[in-house]
Amino acid sequence: MGSERRGHVILGLNVLVLGYVPSAWQTELLDPLDPVRADYWRRIGALAERATLDAVFLADSPSLSDPSYDAGATRLDPTIIWSTVARATSRVGLIATASTTFNDPVEFARRLLTLDHVSAGRAGWNVVTSRHPGVAENFGLPAHIARDDRYARADEFVDVVTGLWDSTRTGDRLRHEGEHFRVDDALALPSSAQGRPVIVQAGGSDQGRRLAGRVADAVFSAELTPQSARAHYREVRDHAVAAGRAADSVSILPGLLLTLGSTEEEARRRSDELHEQGPPAYATAWLSQAIGYDVAGLALDEPFPDDVLAEPADPAAFTGSIGFRQSIVERIRQDRPTVREYLRETRYTGSGHGGFTGTPEGLVDRIESWYRTGAADGFNLQPDRLIDGLEVIADEVIPLLRRRGLFREDYETETLRGHLNAAQGSAS
């Protein structure tokens, strides 16, 4: 499998409310109101901690979502959810997504550092820029902010937030005057138990990767092949070195969509059942949004036309995820499937984020291969249906990883930053 690495695999859980499959709510294991009940979230947090996962992630979008299209249509504020989970847990990291496009950096710096204190140094921030036109409309804008402008604001936003966090340690006021923000302030809070909250970056564009290299502790990436994952891995670490940081200061954590069964046949059957319970048009609607082309108008039994796979005519106007699009297009060009074949195969292999459908043993093989060959430092696991998929991770996947020496027996550190440093083989 390649040369041995120090440390161990980093494992996060991407909590897409009920799971990544839109039909996840159609089970007797859940009540329709569970997504807005504190007990549900405490249960998920306790399960993740029983698995000794490094962190749980929660996405956010300040807009309404269509539940027939979006598997996580219910949007509760992540910092409040994780504050609730913090009371039911003591070790698992708590990473909240927040957009730099429509938040205020002073208010957010205080809010996230508050979560960090109530969780005793377990908070992290998943930095994103809002790209959905519906979000802009919610904030009274006639059109969405251009990608380059969003990332320029994001760079400055992160500098203000980290500067304010650092003010709690140094006692110095942050005096910042930039294109987007003017700040002359210091946070009236104690400093973080972990120095400052962990920063995770989730954008796959060139601007996002540069931002990750400059400021992120980890990257939540979208990868479908180990070849592209290794290229992304090297690129982000090169950006880190260019920014004057150590290459290993940034951990690369691809998302991984999971359907697990005791046999591969059972796992595929579960995947088919869950997908077929959902809206028939879900896959085409998601893929259309992801690549910026109406897939519903394509001939199902023909390969994707070359013009569909070409770069967008106006990249600045493309509202989807650049990282997702690059992964999807690379996979289609490599395998040359028909549209129908691709849509069906994404049930098992993922679309945007990589996917795995099979046994716990096979999943551990996949994790070990990517980890040993420098394609990833770990993964953000995304079960199809969270309520029972997470139990399989805790009871079957984690013990297998431990037997191979890929994961620790128990938590060895107290803070989220400590978990990441220990995993990389660094002092915590």
Which DSSP string corresponds to 3-43? S--SS--EEEEE--BTBSSGGGG-STTS-TTGGG-HHHHHH
Tokens of 162: 């980290």
**Is 80 exceeded by the pLDDT of residue 305?**
yes
Annotated binding site: 60, 97, 151, 205
Tell me, what's the pLDDT at 72? 59
Q: In terms of pTM, does the model score above 0.85?
A: yes
CB 226 within 8 A of CB 349: no
Could you give the C-alpha distances from 14 to 104, 271, 334, in angstroms and in order? 25, 18, 28
Residue type at 127 in one-letter notation: V
Distance CA(52)–CA(46), nearest Å, equals 10
- Please compute the mean of the pLDDT values over residues 302-325 and round it to a whole number: 77
Confidence bin at 338 (pLDDT 50/70/90): very high
| Angle between helical axes of 264-276 and 339-349 (0-180°, round to 10) | 120
Summarize pLDDT for 55-84 with one digit per residue, the tens: 999 988 776 665 555 555 567 899 999 999
The region of weakest confidence among 93-107, 310-324, 325-339, 359-373 is: 310-324
What CA dihedral angle connects 208, 209, 214 and 220, to 10 degrees?
A: 90
Proportion of the chain above pLDDT 70, given as a percent:
92
Q: How confident is the model at residue 145 (pLDDT cuts 50, 70, 90)?
A: confident
Distance CA 428, CA 424 (A): 10
Strand ranges, E, within 241-375: 251-260, 354-358
Is 363's pLDDT higher than 50? yes
- When pLDDT is cut at 50, 70 and 90, the band that residue 1 belongs to is very low
The per-residue pLDDT for 315 is 64
Mean pLDDT computed over 111-123: 98
Domains belonging to the chain, first-starting first, are 10-263+354-423 (3.20.20.30)
Span 316-326, mean pLDDT? 73
The average confidence (pLDDT) of the chain is 90
At residue 333, does pLDDT exceed 70?
yes
pLDDT band at 283 (very low <50, low <70, confident <90, very high): confident
The residue whose two tokens read 């440390």 is: 7
Q: Kindly state the DSSP code that residue 296 receives in the 8-state scheme.
A: G
Binding positions for FMN = 60, 97, 151, 205
DSSP secondary structure letters along 227-260? HHHHHHHHHHHHHHHHTTS-GGGSEEEEEEEEEE
User: What whole-number distance in Å separates Cα of residue 234 and Cα of residue 221?
Assistant: 13
Going by the DSSP 8-state scheme, the letter that residue 303 receives in this structure is: B
